[in-house]
Chain A
Amino acid sequence: MSSAPPKIRFRDPQIEMAHGAGGKASRRLVEGLFAPLLCGNSSEPLGDAAHLDLNGTRVAVTADSFVVKPLKFPGGSIGELAVNGTVNDLAVSGARAQTLVVTYILESGLPTEILEAEVRAMAKAAERAGVTIAGGDTKVVEHGKCDRMYITTAGIGLPIPGVTLAASSVRPGDKVLLSGPIGDHGITILLARGELDIEADLCSDTRSVLPLVEALARAAAPAIRWMRDPTRGGVATTLNELARDCNLGVLLAEEKIPIRDTVRGACELLGLDPLHIANEGQFLAIVAAEMADAALAALRETPGGHEAVIIGEMCEQPAGTVLGATSYGGTRVIDMLVGDPLPRIC
């Protein structure tokens, strides 16, 4: 007997930039079009990576594409993002990346030295992250048909022992851990585009978070409920997805959220909310309250984790909502990003 065809809930007549921005529109596209058609009637919440059972062996697999412009920016380049991004997706799904495959879409006319620089950057990032690159594919398109270079990486990894993650296991009272300052990457890219008359000493935070995730696992594996890396859409979007998936509320103490002064200044100047800005070297972890301090200590003792902080906790109400509390007692709802973070003047 054939099952009913999946219902497409995505009704937008055309694709727009907002659909790739990581916020509500992206989610609508994924949940309303891709998931029903490609993933069948699975009711599993979508995660950063898929954990599969292949003839008795559990593996994790994920893919990510990188279309960043400009290709090079303070702190990194598209090649590093391509490696770290996939390693991180696997890490926050509870897996250690083993190997990547990579595809390049190159624009005709791209100077070879630029391509070589990115490939070298990828090789170096892979070595640092402890992954091999098993192969890949290349396509070249006509001049003007892609922005110099697009890279997709698919990664495969093995589960980190003791770590089982599920939004459904999150409980009120669990603590929200953040590995470090937010907003660095997104603001760096915005400034690197050179369209704004703004200069700042800032660089992307791109890095593999695997060592931090492994340190966390060693200290508190059974207490880790859920993890995610807040890339496009920022911390606000990621936590809103969590709140929706587990039907609980998240209460954040706003002054605990680490934000570098320069990021804060740039956001104020541009009218952007740091909570909506992409990060490429941070992750969020929900940890059971009794192990939260030990978990935090483990992160802080690991190189690169010294700025980790507990920024809030899960709560019963208001379900499905992220709230921010100020030091003086005011609260506000922190919503998911709607489209691209548009700077406001007002």
Chain B
Amino acid sequence: MKYVDEFREAGVIAKASEEIRRLADPGRHYRLMEVCGGHTHAIYRFGLKDLLPPNIELVHGPGCPVCVLPMGRIDDGLSMAEDPNVIFTAFGDMMRVPGTQGSPLEHKARGMDVRIVYSPTDALKLAHKNPGRHVMFFAIGFETTAPSTALILKRAKEQGLRNFSVFSNHVTIIPAIRAILDSPDMRLDAFIGPGHVSTVIGCRPYEWIARDQHRPIVVSGFEPVDILQSIVMILAQLKAGESKVENQYKRVVPWEGSRPALRAMAEVFELRPYFEWRGMGFISQSALKIRESYAPWDAEQRFQVPGVRVTDPKAAQCGEVLKGVLKPVQCKLFGKECTPERPVGALMVSSEGSCAAYYNYEHRKAAAFTSIGAPV
């Protein structure tokens, strides 16, 4: 596969690993945060931790848009679909996330019309195909996905589609990073920046991290070579005592971002004054609300939403794991009351959640196995 295979090639990976070893100061312990859940998933899926020296620690950030949604929002979305006329649509990632009365899939088993879509366009098409029903799209994601939601809302308006609405749970990445840096428990040396969010917002929004917080941030792609090269670039900055924003993912990320995407978002969305993030409390200006000009397509306006705040079970430490303060395995419920089959929180369900990634890919690996090569 072009633009994938070259970035998984063993020889190039070996070179990058060697360079990491060369640059890393053996007397120093590095804590690098990868913000984006897609990076967390990639790190585990490709076994990249096995390729790093032990003094480089990767800390998982809160960039999993499913994980940071408080349970109350899931409940709100599901309550809209209690009306049998409503078709609840969402990406696959949402389907097993627990609400207080069960996940969307569990609601489906009890008779609710719940359907997976692979694109917001699918939800729009479903509305066209089912004029007698109302299609509600539970929209999640950071700035990577928000422009797509914005475009289909524009289309819905242009087409005068009456039986379609969006429940916007889009969140923005910069406030999350700010909250991390403001947290007293965090000691981070640098950031591996979110590659796909950056195709939309560009690299400028990270400048304050380098300038005011003096942490290097390298916007990274998602293949093994990308992530390793980003670590090389971070180490080189740290070694030189620098802190700047760099773009490792140049083949895809434009420094200025995507103007059409930003335009679409600005036309359809505005920032909520504040929004609750699981485990991080209320963060101001951190989530997207559909504008008044699109009110007929805003599910929050079309439906009566309970809006109940649901706190996580006391023993669950989702918040601390989300912020990177705790490793998944340090949560008291990890692997016992909370497993991918019986998840307590979304981090164990979402493929980007660090608990799920750790449980599925890492946990049970014996220490003896950290440097195994292909056996046959």
Of listed B118, B363, B364, B374, residue having the most chain A CB within 10 A: B374
Interface 9-residue window, one of A210-218, A280-288, A310-318? A310-318
Known interface pairs A342-B95, A346-B93, A346-B352; A333-B372 also in contact (CB < 8 Å): no
Q: Write out, one digit per residue, whether chain B residues 89-109 have a CB within 8 A of any chain A CB (1) or not (0).
A: 001110110000000011011
A residues 309-342 in Cβ contact with B at 8 Å = 310-313, 315, 317-318, 320-321, 323-333, 335, 338-339, 342
Q: Which residue of A lies closest to B4 (CB)?
A: A268
Q: Tell me how far the C-beta of B197 lies from the nearest C-beta in chain A, rounded to whole angstroms.
A: 12
Residue in contact with B364 in the complex, picked from A17, A18, A312, A318, CB distance below 8 Å:
A318
Q: Tell me how far the C-beta of A134 lies from the nearest C-beta in chain B, rounded to whole angstroms.
A: 37
Q: Which residue of B lies closest to A330 (CB)?
A: B47
**CB distance B362 to A321 under 8 Å?**
no
Chain A positions within 8 Å of B373 at CB level = 325, 329
Please report the C-alpha to C-alpha distance between residue A53 and residue B376 in the assembled complex, in whole angstroms. Answer: 39
B10 within 8 A of A: yes
Residue in contact with A345 in the complex, picked from B51, B91, B363, B375, CB distance below 8 Å:
B91
Q: Tell me how far the C-beta of B211 lies from the nearest C-beta in chain A, rounded to whole angstroms.
A: 30
**CB distance B51 to A330 under 8 Å?**
yes
A162 within 8 A of B: no
**CB distance B365 to A321 under 8 Å?**
yes
Q: How large is the interface on A (under 10, 10 to 19, 20 to 34, 35 or more residues)?
A: 35 or more
Residue in contact with A325 in the complex, picked from B119, B352, B364, B372, CB distance below 8 Å:
B372
Interface 9-residue window, one of A104-112, A136-144, A181-189, A251-259? A251-259
Q: Which residue of A lies closest to B66 (CB)?
A: A346
**CB distance B109 to A17 under 8 Å?**
yes
A43 within 8 A of B: no
Please report the C-alpha to C-alpha distance between residue A327 and residue B225 in the assembled complex, in whole angstroms. Answer: 13
**CB distance A331 to B364 under 8 Å?**
no
Residues of B within 8 A of A (CB): 1, 4, 8, 10, 13-14, 17, 37-38, 41, 44-51, 64-66, 91-93, 95-96, 105-106, 108-110, 116, 118-119, 122, 141, 145, 224, 340-341, 350-352, 359-366, 368-376
Chain B positions within 8 Å of A343 at CB level = 92, 116, 118
**CB distance B92 to A330 under 8 Å?**
no
Number of A-B contacts (CB under 8 A): 145
Q: Which residue of B lies closest to A252 (CB)?
A: B375
Please report the C-alpha to C-alpha distance between residue A298 and residue B247 in the assembled complex, in whole angstroms. Answer: 52
11 more contacts with CB within 8 A, not counting A17-B105, A326-B224, are A16-B106, A315-B375, A318-B364, A329-B50, A329-B373, A330-B51, A338-B340, A339-B96, A339-B105, A344-B351, A346-B64
Q: Which residue of B lies closest to A272 (CB)?
A: B92
**CB distance A268 to B361 under 8 Å?**
no
**CB distance A328 to B369 under 8 Å?**
no
A101 within 8 A of B: no
Known interface pairs A317-B369, A331-B50; A344-B93 also in contact (CB < 8 Å): yes
**CB distance A328 to B105 under 8 Å?**
no
A25 within 8 A of B: yes
27 contacts between A and B (CB under 8 A): A15-B109, A25-B341, A197-B122, A253-B374, A253-B376, A264-B1, A268-B4, A270-B118, A271-B92, A271-B351, A310-B376, A312-B375, A318-B364, A328-B8, A329-B372, A330-B51, A332-B46, A332-B361, A333-B365, A335-B340, A335-B359, A339-B96, A342-B93, A342-B96, A343-B118, A345-B93, A346-B141
